[in-house]
Structure 1
Amino acid sequence: MKLSEFRLAVDDEFGEAYGAVVLRDVVLEVLGGRTATEALSAGVAPREVWLALCVAMDVPTARRHGPTRRERGPRA
């Protein structure tokens, strides 16, 4: 999972405004008691942070894969 995909997943699951709060305020014990923002800054893989957030926020298993891939236009 790329960081851009992580951000899409957070926005899709929590909404843009609440997602920012979740990233900043939810402490993830499995990531050393850091917030998602702190964990990403420390170099933890976005996929690992995403899964830790899903567990902490009780995201249903069916939605833990992230948002459905969006159609992309042709590359230049």
Structure 2
Amino acid sequence: MDDEFGSGYARVLAGSLVLAGVGGRTADQALAAGVEPRKVWLAVCDVQDVPEERRLGRDIKIKDGSSPL
């Protein structure tokens, strides 16, 4: 969430945005209840209209400069 929204706003979303995709809980509540982090992230993406191409996170370059995938 920090990569997509910035650390400050990510914390606000995690604690206040109610997500139907995880039972009407916030991300913090869902994670505390044992919901898989990926399911929580995808629920956030749905509500916040994160484009499909950004739902896997940003590519991290490995030492030789290539993509890890």
TM-score above 0.5: yes
Give the number of the structure whose residues are more often strand, by fraction.
1
- Give the ranges of 4+ consecutive aligned residues of structure 1 lying more than 4 Å apart after TM superposition: none
Determine which structure has greater relative contact order: mean sequence separation of CA pairs < 8 Å that are 6+ residues apart, divided by chain length: 1
Q: TM (normalized to structure 2)?
A: 0.84
Count, aligned residues: 63
Give the number of the structure whose residues are more often helix, by fraction.
1
| Aligned-residue RMSD, C-alpha | 1.4
Which residue in the other structure is 1:61 paired with? 52
Using the aligned pairs only, state the percent identity.
Answer: 51
Q: TM (normalized to structure 1)?
A: 0.76
Structure 2: give runs of 5+ residues left out of the alignment.
Answer: 64-69
| 1:21 equivalent among 12, 16, 26 | 12
